[in-house]
Amino acid sequence: MEDFRAIYRTILHRPELNELFTSYAPNKKVLTTANVADFLRKEQFELDADERRAVSLINRYEPIEEANPPFSPFKSSLKRGCRCVEIDCWDGPDGEPVVYHGHTLTSKITFQNVIDVVHKHAFEASDYPIILSLENHCSPPQQERMAAHMLDILRDTLCVSTLDDSMPSQLPSPEELKYKILIKNKKVGTLEDTLRRKGERCRGQTGETEETEGSDDDDDDATGHLLKKVPQKAPSATKKSKKEKGHKVKVAMLLSELVIYTASRKFANFEDSREKQKFYQNNSIGEVKGQKLIKKKAPDFVLHTVNFLTRIYPKGTRTDSSNYDPQEFWNVGCQLGVKLAIISGYQLPPSNLSKSNKADPVVKIEIHGVPGDMAKHQTSVIKNNALNPRWNETFTFNIQVPDLALIRFVVEDQMAITANDFLGQYTLPVLSMNKGYRHVPLVSKLGVSLKPASLFVYIWYFQQ
């Protein structure tokens, strides 16, 4: 029992937090709302903070937890600020479409439940628009059911027309589309046709359009087999013309009319897009093909993404639905100086490789972005203390392109002989960091929360 009490006191006592608390609490015991507002203005750089702001924070962070639904991957992605969510849709029982990653290890959930989660958590992390990329394998009746669910659940947040109901000549800015959810899917006809049909009844109607997705990665083998391709005879003129023409697919008109700024178009090459692609059409390019285009035609790729939204989808060998590193695709301004103090850690995860289960934690801070901004620093090692290690170490970074920069915190257990054991991580855009004292939550390699494990840091940055 005494050992338990000792551990409890160790976890409960946070001297670094107590120092901050007592510096703003006049009687060293209680922080009034006025004291909290003073702290927010001076330490957290919230210059307009008042007692109402203090009260809202106190109410917000009461220790009330919400039960996690079984479809938490969608929820966690949205809460981490993901702005494009792929939903793999298939015909389900009783006329209700279901969502799962076809031919992989994922479980099935109803489309309606997924849209409920999107509606609830879409704008918790960011005000900016979300694209729901529908990987649509459903029949027209179930496509119509999908559209009905989105109209009923998403309501005013669903983008169902252009900003002023007139035909624009370019995409609106993310600022203009705040709090809007956009649907990416195959579209029947043009955006002009949709605006002309506005108000007309389209339930029960279907239309035809050319297949827009398909495999555009000739050597992105979804099975992962490393085999040489067998030379084949050149196709006949008849077969070639059929392939070029493409096959037609049926789309429920109710769903098609919800596609406004994000109509799917099959990517052929950059020249084809420059000549034929509409501003509201966007492409999906396979991960492997995208990497090849970066190496061979980077300038063309940059010009393409200036004009058109482009989605990179993971290669077929990712049967666990994992994602690629997006940074190389984001890389195709002003300089920012960042000062970061790693103050302490709290209840860090135990080491899997340590016999005593006691970690020697070290924190690595990495900047990922354009090649000139890539940097890495690390703290000293704290021996045998994963409960409440304290570093109080400060690092500085000079970042040339902050809009494309990510900061990653990695906590490891330093091992004497073998490689360090991973304990936890967290990654976020540099420009999303708030100044002042902050807690950095840690997650596993798969993005699963390791709560209450966290780092306590101080952040300051300025433009140079």
Task: Give a yes or no: residue 189 inside a domain.
Answer: yes
Q: Contact at 8 Å (CB) between 267 and 273?
A: yes
Does residue 172 share a domain with residue 114? Answer: yes
Mean pLDDT score across all residues of the chain:
83
Cα 366 from Cα 375, distance rounded (Å): 6
Cα 274 from Cα 276, distance rounded (Å): 6
Q: Give me the pLDDT at residue 464, please.
A: 57
Confidence of residue 453 (pLDDT cuts 50, 70, 90): very high
Q: Contact at 8 Å (CB) between 120 and 76?
A: no
Residues 261-299: pLDDT tens digits? 999 999 999 999 999 999 999 998 888 898 898 888 888
Residue 239 CA from chain centroid, whole number? 41
Q: How many CB atoms lie within 10 A of CB 215?
A: 11
Domains of the chain: total: 3
Residue 286 CA from chain centroid, whole number? 18
Q: Give me the pLDDT at residue 229, please.
A: 36
Does residue 125 share a domain with residue 34? Answer: no
Strands 281-286 and 263-264: parallel
Task: Give a yes or no: residue 285 inside a domain.
Answer: no
* Amino acid sitting at position 140: P
Residue 59 CA from chain centroid, whole number? 28
Q: Give me the pLDDT at residue 265, please.
A: 93
Task: Give a yes or no: residue 302 inside a domain.
Answer: no
CATH code for the domain of 121: 3.20.20.190
Does residue 98 share a domain with residue 47? Answer: no
Overall size of the chain counted in residues: 464
Mean pLDDT along residues 317-331? 65
Cα 84 from Cα 61, distance rounded (Å): 28
Task: Give a yes or no: residue 311 inside a domain.
Answer: no
Does residue 254 share a domain with residue 386? Answer: no
Reading the block at residue 45, the tokens are 């750089």
Task: Please give the residue that has the higher pLDDT: either 383 or 73.
Answer: 383
Residues 353-388: pLDDT tens digits? 666 667 889 999 999 988 888 999 999 999 988 888
Residues 208-251: pLDDT tens digits? 998 765 544 444 433 333 233 334 444 444 444 444 456 789 99
Does residue 256 share a domain with residue 349? Answer: no
Task: Give a yes or no: residue 432 inside a domain.
Answer: yes
Task: Write down the number of H helices and E strands in the chain.
Answer: 13, 18
Name the residue range of residue 93's domain. Answer: 72-213+246-264
In the predicted structure, residue 461 carries a pLDDT above the cut 90: no
Mean pLDDT along residues 106-129? 90
CATH code for the domain of 387: 2.60.40.150
Does residue 159 share a domain with residue 260? Answer: yes
Sign of torsion over alpha carbons 268, 274, 278, 283 = positive
Reading the block at residue 227, the tokens are 């085999």
* Domain-ending residue, one of 233, 264, 295: 264
Cα 158 from Cα 152, distance rounded (Å): 10
Residue 134 pairs in a beta bridge with: 87
3-state secondary structure at position 256: helix
Q: Give me the pLDDT at residue 58, please.
A: 81
Half-sphere exposure of 155 (CA within 13 A, CB side): 4
Does residue 257 share a domain with residue 121? Answer: yes
Strands 98-99 and 84-90: antiparallel
Reading the block at residue 84, the tokens are 């494009």
Task: Give a yes or no: residue 65 inside a domain.
Answer: no
Does residue 457 share a domain with residue 416? Answer: yes
Task: Give a yes or no: residue 223 inside a domain.
Answer: no
Task: Please give the residue that has the higher pLDDT: either 104 or 126.
Answer: 126
Q: Give me the pLDDT at residue 228, please.
A: 33
Longest distance between any two alpha carbons in the chain, whole Å: 89
Does residue 458 share a domain with residue 392? Answer: yes
In the predicted structure, residue 203 carries a pLDDT above the cut 80: yes
Does residue 260 share a domain with residue 111? Answer: yes
Answer whether the bond into residue 361 is a cis peptide, omega within 30°. no
In order, the DSSP letters of 106-163 are PPPEEHHHHHHHHHHHTTSS-SS-EEEEEEE---HHHHHHHHHHHHHHHGGGB--S-T
* Amino acid sitting at position 115: I
In the sheet that holds 375-378, the strands lie side by side as 375-378, 361-368, 406-413, 421-429, 436-443, 449-463, 336-346, 390-399
Confidence of residue 420 (pLDDT cuts 50, 70, 90): confident
Reading the block at residue 163, the tokens are 């900003």
Task: Please give the residue that has the higher pLDDT: either 302 or 263.
Answer: 263
The closest alpha carbon to 34, from 50, 46, 18, 17, belongs to 50
3-state secondary structure at position 309: coil
Phi, psi torsion values for 235, nearest 5 degrees: -65, 150
Task: Give a yes or no: residue 290 inside a domain.
Answer: no
In the predicted structure, residue 451 carries a pLDDT above the cut 70: yes
Separation in Å, CA 160 to CA 84, 115, 149, 151:
18, 16, 14, 9
Q: What is the pTM of this model?
A: 0.58
In the predicted structure, residue 136 carries a pLDDT above the cut 80: yes
Q: Give me the pLDDT at residue 335, please.
A: 61
Cα 281 from Cα 401, distance rounded (Å): 28
Does residue 165 share a domain with residue 89? Answer: yes
Residue 87 pairs in a beta bridge with: 134
Does residue 17 share a domain with residue 101? Answer: no
Where do the H-state alpha helices sit in 321-436?
327-330
Q: Give me the pLDDT at residue 194, please.
A: 94
* Range of lowest pLDDT (46-60, 283-297, 307-321, 412-426): 307-321
